[in-house]
Amino acid sequence: MVLLLVSAASADAQIRRVDSGRNLFGFNLGYFSVLGEDSRDEDDVLLADLTSLAFDVKDFSGASVGGEFVFGLSDYLEAGVGVNYYQRTVPSVYADVVSDDGFEIAQELKLRVVPISATVRFLPIGRGGVEPYVGAGIGIFNWRYSEVGEFVDFSNDTIFRDRYIANGTAVGPVILGGIRFPVADVWTIGGEIRYQKAKGEDLLDEQFLSDTIDLGGWTTSFTLHLRF
């Protein structure tokens, strides 16, 4: 009986140590999946590029990394502020044109996105132990898109080398859901999936084939948090 009481007290103390703080500082390592051709904005520059260049839009999906600070507002509500980083370079060639010596006319297409997000999260079963959550918020997306390599001037059938670069900041909604599991005294591990919707604009000013780039997509992440 004494052993049972000691064990119960020890387990209760462990739970209390895990739930000793409402705030968290976390890291995430994930994979950002861009929207496919059928889901992208109709004026997206990647769709416009596909009329002459050969590449796969899905090749723009890639690794992302980030961090966040989460404030515990109550046992069932949290507010979070975070920043992530994603960059991907995709090779492309002209689909139907080669140089006079038979070589491919190649380019590199590069997209970088740095999302800064502010979210509010609801924990349906409260804080302590296993913690599933859902949330939503707003994202500020700093982006840069470039095309570097050889291009064809079809007005006189000449090949030239150049680079086209556009950058800016877009704003859009963020929706997320995840779950955290307590480990050790103050650490949690978990997983999260979030959706973002935004688009960069004014690419025509930099001589791209279309005026926007769709920044929407899904990020699936492994999360690690320190509670304090």
For domain 2-227, the CATH architecture is Beta Barrel (2.40)
pLDDT at 185: 85
- The answer to whether residue 66 scores a pLDDT higher than 90 is yes
Average pLDDT over residues 139-152: 98
Average pLDDT over residues 6-12: 42
pLDDT at 157: 86
- The answer to whether residue 221 scores a pLDDT higher than 80 is yes
Kindly state the tokens that stand for 121.
Answer: 């999260």
- H or E segment and range at residue 10: helix 2-18
Tell me the pLDDT of the chain averaged across its residues.
91
pLDDT, one tens digit per residue, over 189-216 is: 999 999 999 999 999 999 999 999 999 9
pLDDT at 131: 97
Kindly state the tokens that stand for 89.
Answer: 């370079």
Residue 43: phi, psi to the nearest 5?
Answer: -100, 15
Residues in the chain, how many? Answer: 228
pLDDT at 198: 98
Give CA separation, 31 vs 19, 66, 160, in Å.
29, 11, 35
How far apart, in whole angstroms, are the C-alpha atoms of residue 168 and residue 199? 10
CB atoms within 10 A of CB 181: 13
Its pTM stands at 0.88
Torsion angle in degrees (nearest 10) through CA of 16, 21, 25, 31:
50
pLDDT at 22: 85
pLDDT at 40: 97
Average pLDDT over residues 168-185: 96
Give CA separation, 114 vs 8, 18, 30, 188, 227, in Å.
46, 32, 14, 25, 25
CB atoms within 10 A of CB 190: 21
How far apart, in whole angstroms, are the C-alpha atoms of residue 40 and residue 198? 11
Which one is predicted more confidently, 2 or 125?
125
User: Where do the H-state alpha helices sit in 19-140?
Assistant: 45-49
- H or E segment and range at residue 4: helix 2-18
How far apart, in whole angstroms, are the C-alpha atoms of residue 66 and residue 85? 6
pLDDT at 13: 42
pLDDT category at 128 given cuts 50, 70, 90 is confident
Amino acid in the structure at residue 6? V
pLDDT, one tens digit per residue, over 10-33 is: 444 444 444 447 899 999 999 999
Domain range list for the chain: 2-227
Of 5, 214, 14, 215, the closest CA to residue 115 belongs to 215
Kindly state the tokens that stand for 106.
Answer: 């190649």
